[in-house]
Structure 1
Amino acid sequence: MNHSGDVPTVSVEELPSGEDYVLLDVREPDEWAAGHAPSAVHIPLGDLPSRAGELSELADDRPVHVICRTGGRSARAVAWLNAAGVVDAVNVAGGMKTWQALGRPLVSDHADTSPEVL
């Protein structure tokens, strides 16, 4: 793990295996619907302040790895979550674009189309 400024960061390849962390996707609803990680939790970046309590309960002392399309929005989310003391958050560098490029599983909310990262 490295720290880009004050934001702890890991690559997609460095994500822990299993369920010992929460994967938080902060992309917009249309991006989420097109394709997301099967076990991810969706809270758009703009909704984080109003849903912070929900995230804190969901994390239950597990680290929260935050992902977006390429890493910019997730870095902002991590900075806010850590500064607010909501959860122990880590940015996922490369985001869902790297997730898809590495062949990690994707699911879509649209039954008639293959999942994709917008």
Structure 2
Amino acid sequence: MADLTQEQWSEQLKNDDNAVIIDVRTDAEFEEGYIPGAVQIDIYNGAEFLKRVKELDTQKNYYVYCRSGGRSGQACMLMNSIGIKNAYNLKGGIMEWDGEITD
């Protein structure tokens, strides 16, 4: 797992043609706005979260975020533990995101 600053995360994402953005927030948080192209997998929904993460392609690069960076850090560690090598946590989460947001 790598903790990336907002700048590192967005720059790396922009240049990655094998990227998948994952939002691990709740449905209500997701509906308030999300980074364009993000797939929502709510980490608070434990069994469903684990099931969906296990279905992910381990060859892809995952850019993971939450509200402030805590849950997404946990999600990245969990993803690493099941064989996903490239999981990048957005430090500061969407609260500090200054890029585009879809609402």
Q: TM-score, normalised by structure 2?
A: 0.82
Aligned to 2:4: 10
Q: Choose which of 78, 81, 84 in structure 2 pairs with 1:80.
A: 78
Question: Which has the higher Rg, Structure 1 or Structure 2?
Answer: 1
Larger RCO (CA under 8 A, 6+ residues apart): 2
Matched, 1:106 2:69: no
Instruction: In structure 1, give the amino acid aligned to 2:100.
Output: P
Question: Structure 1 stretch 85-94 or stretch 68-77: which is displaced more?
Answer: 85-94
Residues in 2 aligned to 1:18 and 1:38: alpha-carbon distance in whole angstroms: 16
Instruction: In structure 2, give the amino acid aligned to 1:89.
Output: A
The DSSP-based 3-state class of the residue aligned with 1:24 is: strand
Residues in 2 aligned to 1:87 and 1:14: alpha-carbon distance in whole angstroms: 18
Counting only pairs closer than 5 Å after superposition, residues 13-24 of structure 1 correspond to structure 2 as: 13-15=7-9, 16=12, 17-18=14-15, 20=17, 21-24=19-22
Residues in 2 aligned to 1:33 and 1:19: alpha-carbon distance in whole angstroms: 26
Long gaps (5+) in structure 2: none
The DSSP-based 3-state class of the residue aligned with 1:69 is: coil
Matched, 1:48 2:49: yes
Root mean square deviation of aligned Cα: 1.7
Instruction: In structure 1, give the amino acid aligned to 2:2.
Output: P
Name the % identity: 30
Q: Choose which of 47, 59, 62 in structure 2 pairs with 1:61.
A: 59
Q: How many aligned positions are there?
A: 96
Q: TM-score, normalised by structure 1?
A: 0.73
